[in-house]
Amino acid sequence: MILPLTAYAHQATVKESHDAPAVRGIIIDNMLKEHDNPFTLYPYDTNYLIYTNTSDMNKEAISSYS
């Protein structure tokens, strides 16, 4: 005799991505906290300032590898 199988399903809920970030402190998560568009530009972001201030650092050592 085969017993009928029953399945219990929970109601599917939509959870916004910024409620529980996968990794704390990631750039995309920080961008999505206030905006739902990941392509929001931050021209004076701290990474941009760090890059522009250090982009010509150690050029002599880098050019010696080529």
pLDDT digits (tens, 9 = 90+) for 18-34: 555 555 666 666 666 66
Q: What is the pLDDT of residue 27?
A: 67
Q: What is the pLDDT of residue 49?
A: 65
Which 3-state string (H, E, C) describes 2-64? CCCCCCCCCCCCCCCCCCCCCCCCCHHHHHHHHCCCCCCCCCCCHHHHHHHHHCCCCHHHHHH
* Domains of the chain by residue range: 21-55
Distance from the Cα of residue 22 to its chain's centroid: 8
pLDDT < 70 positions in the chain: 1-55, 66
| pTM > 0.75 | no
